[in-house]
Structure 1
Amino acid sequence: MASQAARHAAMRDMFLHVERRWGGLDRLVKPLPVERGPLTSAALERLFRHESLALVVPGFVADPAPLADALVAAAATARNWSVSSARGLESSDVTAVGGTPYNMAVAAGDTERYFSEDVAAAKRFLRTAAGGGASAVDALRCELDDAWASGCTARRDADGRPHHCGLGRIMAGPTRWADGFVHVDALAPLSAGGGQFSANIYLRQPAGGGDLEVWPLAFSSRWEFYANAHTLSKLTSIDEADQRELRARLPAPVVVPVAAGDLALLCVQRPHAVRGWATHETRASLQSFVNFAGPDRPLTLEA
């Protein structure tokens, strides 16, 4: 009986053959504009229909410095995210601040504490950092609720308990990936009927890095994925060899400059990265995942 390693190698060789015979990443590329402007229903509709690559709302937070300072201070005692690579479990470039991301709670078997304690504590942390009033995440939810006809709310579990609507993220330089870590958060076909998006509020940016890179590449069917699976499957890998191959095979990304205070929304089913930097500067942001379930359904937020 073939060993697991031999079976893995055979599968890899098969997908490599399929991609060489029927694949072609250039066929999955569709140039799209990056919109800059207010958060409106029309702009959201274009983003959700995949008619724009990203939506940047300049100056969404008027004074981001105090919240950035609070996140950086809290990161000193926060837990770093862990990622799996061929070398085993390693620390990532990202530290979650203010609460525990849901995927980490699931991995740790700690979802009960996530819902019973962590969500409320994270909300208090962000509101305290905002001086006791509404936080930037509260503002995001309200703005999305106003802009989207069916409204916006927190994602809820089967018992009606809300998820985080957003959490702090700290990236401290020098970053592990000099060019940025190319990835998708959801490896799934693009559909105008639903999808997963991210909303990032930038609070502090390094002087020489930290901009977004987004690839105008997407697959819309299982066949398009399988025909290019040898390359596309690497979008969920943190191994250095896979990252080098992605950079070599993918077309040039669209660079999306962002400044402190800006809000940026994009589809996380598209390859994207944060440009790395070599200095000891810190990047501070807030991130929410925005679930779009159709034009007549409410948007839901989670983190």
Structure 2
Amino acid sequence: MTFTTDSTIFTFEGKLLKLTHDSKETKTPMNVNIYLPKGYDSASDKSIPVLLYLSGLTCTPNNASEKAYWQPQADKYGFAVVFPDTSPRGANIAGEDDSWDFGTGAGFYVDATTENYKSNYKMYSYIHSELQTLLQEEFKSLNFDNISITGHSMGGYGALSGFLQNPGKYKSVSAFSPISNPVKAPWGKKAFAGYLGDNKEDWSQYDPTELIVKYEGPADATILIHVGKADPFYFRDAQLLPENLVEASKDSKFKDKVELHLVEGYDHSYYFVSSFVAQHAAHHAKYLGITP
């Protein structure tokens, strides 16, 4: 068995599994949670679609599992939800625990190329290749050929960039308060410099606002984004910059297909995320082909 099941939690009408495994990409043990919806135990091979949820800075797989309330939506539509971790842990790299927005809990879903981080911080390859392959081998009823992607904050950026970097792999994408133009945001500049070095051409390969203009794959699905107008990272700190993505999309295959909802009163927390999960679940169910 590739995965060790640390706990099985019955929640709503399905089961949440907390798993651990050794990653070849990160060269560390990795934690991942997966919600198996009602009917999983009697499902046939590759019959259950998958939603991949990427979390934000400082988060573990537990944050969204406990606070986002994806479970009733997964039961309603019949998809599983995978909650990966946000970085390697215990790589013992000097400085990786010095700040909350870089290093541990802040892998930024890139394959690092700088000397200190290139051996372990391979989160792009881990998320989009290794983890999905291993889960498909062990959980036969899941269908990783019918998969969509979403995320919050750093994870919203990771979902958008991963979708645009892998044309046709994901059926749909959505994001909650994503870092939409990281090459122009303080968080993104810090992470990209630390993981990728000073060449900003290397940064652009992960920036959704720059990727969307170059995208040449299928563009059947709209891109759904929610941002709280009371989110300080939106209105004060210029970390999110969703309008930049919308503007860039006007010269892309996603012209008029980026649905940005700026919602009054909401902040950056999981109170905000959980308030709009139902809309995002319906969005993905449509493109996964499972809307009732």
Taking structure 2 as the reference length, the TM-score comes to 0.26
| Structure with max Cα Rg | 1
Taking structure 1 as the reference length, the TM-score comes to 0.25
Which gives a bigger RCO, structure 1 or 2 (Cα 8 Å, sep 6+)?
A: 1
